[in-house]
């Protein structure tokens, strides 16, 4: 009879193994990896037949932790533009000082998973998929009822997602300070799209939701 899967042990092994891979590179063998972790190679292979499996486990677990941190901050806001800005700043706050971790995981998936890469990244994206659908619907309703300025909600979401992910990379590569970028994104991209009934658009000089202002100084 096959041994039952032990989720807690899998998560611990995956996190520890990824730390080794990040330090030594993805070319390290499973035997060397097991030795570094202080477990037998068959034990490691029982939980993770390949390095791609353990990197996948670590990535999905990290995204689950990210969701638990980010979504309450998004839910603190009603206006969809405020929610979109809160999402970006909260993701950056969650990863602040540890951006290399998520960047490495996504790169490691690409280098170890081969033809499974697209499926694995799609599985990771599912963590936020329900939230994305909800935000897309809110933006569309906002455009229809005049509380969001005319725009393509899908294009807006894609732009903000690209900025969110790209800025994580910039933090790793260049140590980029994110607070000025967050301010620019709000003032030039998002604030002009936020319309408050009876008050019009938020304008380009303020109105950032207080609980979503960037706390990432560097």
What is the Cα–Cα distance from 217 to 214, expressed in whole angstroms? 8
Distance (Å, rounded) from C-alpha 47 to C-alpha 42?
9
Q: Per-residue confidence of the chain (218 residues) as pLDDT tens digits?
A: 345 557 777 888 888 999 999 898 888 999 999 999 999 999 999 989 988 888 888 888 888 899 999 999 999 999 999 999 999 999 999 999 888 888 888 888 777 766 566 766 676 667 678 889 999 999 999 999 999 999 999 999 999 999 999 999 999 989 899 999 999 999 999 999 999 776 666 654 456 776 677 776 55
- Delineate the domains of the chain, giving CATH numbers in brackets: 1-49 (1.10.10), 52-212 (1.10.357.10)
> Please, what sign has the CA dihedral across residues 136, 142, 147, 152?
positive
Residue 145, number of CB atoms within 10 A of its CB: 10
CA distances 137 to 19, 55, 76, 132, Å, are 38, 32, 18, 9
- The neighbour count for residue 107, using CB atoms within 10 Å, is 14
For residue 148, what are the β-bridge partners?
194
């Amino acid at each position: 009879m096959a041994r039952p899967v032990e989720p807690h042990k899998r998560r611990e092994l995956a996190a520890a193994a990824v730390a080794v891979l990040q330090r030594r590179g993805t070319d390290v063998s499973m035997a060397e990896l097991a030795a570094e972790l202080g477990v037998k190679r068959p034990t490691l292979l029982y939980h993770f037949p390949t390095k791609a499996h353990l990197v996948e486990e670590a990535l999905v677990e990290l995204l689950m932790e990210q969701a638990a941190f980010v979504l309450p901050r998004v839910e603190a806001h009603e206006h969809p533009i405020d929610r979109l800005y809160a999402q970006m700043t909260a993701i950056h706050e969650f990863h602040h000082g540890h951006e290399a971790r998520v960047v490495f995981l996504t790169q490691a998936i690409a280098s170890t998973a081969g033809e499974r890469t697209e499926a694995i990244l799609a599985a990771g994206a599912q963590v936020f998929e329900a939230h994305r659908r909800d935000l897309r619907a809110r933006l569309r309703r906002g455009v229809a009822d005049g509380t969001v300025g005319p725009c393509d909600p899908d294009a807006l979401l894609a732009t903000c997602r690209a900025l969110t992910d790209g800025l994580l990379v910039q933090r790793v590569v260049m140590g980029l300070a994110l607070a000025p970028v967050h301010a620019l994104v709000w003032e030039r991209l998002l604030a002009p799209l936020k319309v408050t009934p009876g008050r019009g658009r938020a304008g380009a000089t303020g109105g950032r939701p207080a609980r979503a202002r960037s706390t990432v100084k560097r």
